Chains A and B, each alone.
Chain A
Amino acid sequence: MAYFEVNNISKSFGKTEVLKNIDFSMEKGQVVSIIGSSGSGKTTLLRCINFLCEPDQGQFHLEGELLYEAGEKLSDRLLRDKRMNFGMVFQQFNLFPQYNVKENLCLAPGLLAKEKPDWRTRKKEILQEIAERADRILEQVGLSEKAAAYPCELSGGQQQRVAIARALMLSPKILCFDEPTSALDPELTGEVLRVLKELAQKKITMIIVTHEMNFAREISDKVVFMADGVIAEEGDPERLFTDPQSPRLKAFLAKE
């Protein structure tokens, strides 16, 4: 069984079917890119995976076990536990504006640490560990000197790198990116893509919804092409881009 499997996921908003029986799987350490035109359901799929949106039918399997089956009513706590297998980086960054960069990174891990049994006795050490981890991750995304800056003082590219760092803080099993460069000026996309490449080299399992075709081709182990709520074609990136089989992918690549 694959590391992560999406089985037969469907989702409608009113009468519009956004996802129709989506199936795909990926292995640990792989990078899967999801491409396709706007409105093809890419973002909705990613939101379903992150439990931000409830699918009407289908299942998710993670590490060979059933993670979620549509219709299952989850308590807030269980929902959160399941959700935390995944990390999410949004198109609009969604940094918390009132916190500086480092606080953005440390807020959620700090709150989670409070639930640990050793919180009372090891409070200081735990917070110290979180702070050190934040420093390491900020260095990794090249933003050590911006630790005390507020989001409004950063460029879009820097904000997105902070958002990636924030997601990395919780070491999710699968890190999801929803068009991470779409809100950026063209000259700022490079720095974000560079971080993504480094993460791929470190074998971090990622699902990336993107419009950057060259990037998807270069970084991915597998590319999934979605159109009108279905996976029209998927496979090896080289093959997909050089020799598309489905007419819809041919048309899509011709436009790009």
Chain B
Amino acid sequence: MDFVTITKTLLEGFGISCLLFAGTLLLATPLGLLFSFCSMSKLKVIRIPSKIFIWVVRGIPLMLFIFLIYYLPGLIGDGNMVNLFDKLDLEATIASGSRELLWYGRFLAVLIAFVVNYACYFSEIFRGGIESISQGQYEAGYVLGMTRTQVFFRVVLKQVVKRIVPPFSNEIITLVKDTALANAIAIPEIIFTAKKMANSAALIWPIFYSAVFYLIFVGVLTLVLGRIEKRLSYFKV
């Protein structure tokens, strides 16, 4: 296998990593905002369960959480241990006539695990950001006749965004690299692809080479996030 072929194959795998990254970011952000509101709720019946939920999810290793989501639907129900996600993949493979086992079902399992896990981390970042805005900002809005919704969206939100960009950046850089965990249930992301190459073609260097893809992606991400931070630097919170 030559360098170009290996690069292409790895790039294919990295595409799947990126898909997982984008899907998680897109879905975990609103879900995280919802979780943060729940964990700040005045109602105990909402606040306490959400705090416990966040504690449990953040307390479990992400890899274990992936296994949990992957195996759990097969264990409950009629108890005949059929793995729901494998079943999806099997059916899709048969239906499409593909010679290789498809991975969409397993991808769904990983995506669910990632979204829930990251929503919990995000929610704590959001909560910290929201709670760091002084009560005076809310009160100033109220005495000017603004509604709660207006105060949140017109006054508080942008200040929260400014506050959370640095910790949020950290978290999504971690997310980029965490996508490698998807190889635990044989999603053909970049590490899985590189390992397969190591086994089949007895090549070890593609595994190390895969780091370059992560580095470039994280580099671009850092630049973009730095830009956002700079655009918000015209005011102080």
Interface hit among B27-35, B141-149, B180-188? B141-149
A76–B139 CB distance below 8 A: no
Minimum Cβ distance to chain B for residue A175 (Å): 11
Q: A88 in the interface, Cβ–Cβ < 8 Å?
A: yes
Interface hit among B2-10, B18-26, B151-159? B151-159
Instruction: Report how many A-B pairs have Cβ atoms within 8 Å.
Output: 67
Given contacts A107-B154, A150-B235, A152-B235, contact A94 B139 (CB under 8 A): yes
Main secondary structure of the interface of B (DSSP, over half): helix
Q: B99 in the interface, Cβ–Cβ < 8 Å?
A: no
Q: B61 in the interface, Cβ–Cβ < 8 Å?
A: no
Interface residues on chain A, number (Cβ under 8 Å):
28
Q: A213 in the interface, Cβ–Cβ < 8 Å?
A: no
Contact with B along A126-161 (1 / 0, CB 8 A): 000000000000000000000000111000000000
User: B139 — which chain A residues lie within 8 A by C-beta?
Assistant: 52, 88, 90, 94
Interface residues on chain B, number (Cβ under 8 Å):
23
- Interface residues in A91-145 by Cβ distance below 8 A to B read 92, 94-98, 107-108, 111-112
Given contacts A90-B136, A97-B159, contact A151 B146 (CB under 8 A): no
Q: A50 in the interface, Cβ–Cβ < 8 Å?
A: yes
Bound-state CA distance A107–B137 (Å) is 13
Bound-state CA distance A151–B237 (Å) is 10
A94–B158 CB distance below 8 A: no
B145–A94 CB distance below 8 A: no
Shortest Cβ distance from A87 into B: residue: B143
Bound-state CA distance A83–B150 (Å) is 16
A80–B235 CB distance below 8 A: no
User: A111 — which chain B residues lie within 8 A by C-beta?
Assistant: 145-146, 150, 154
Q: A60 in the interface, Cβ–Cβ < 8 Å?
A: no
Contact with A along B128-143 (1 / 0, CB 8 A): 0000001011011111
B234–A88 CB distance below 8 A: no
Minimum Cβ distance to chain B for residue A56 (Å): 20
- Interface residues in A64-87 by Cβ distance below 8 A to B read 76, 80, 83-84, 86-87
Q: B230 in the interface, Cβ–Cβ < 8 Å?
A: no
A170–B145 CB distance below 8 A: yes
Q: A166 in the interface, Cβ–Cβ < 8 Å?
A: yes
Q: Per a CB cutoff under 8 Å, which of B137, B143, B155, B159 touches A83?
A: B143
A92–B141 CB distance below 8 A: no
A-B pairs, top 10 by smallest CB distance, nearest first, are A108-B144, A94-B140, A94-B136, A152-B236, A88-B143, A97-B235, A98-B158, A84-B145, A98-B235, A150-B235
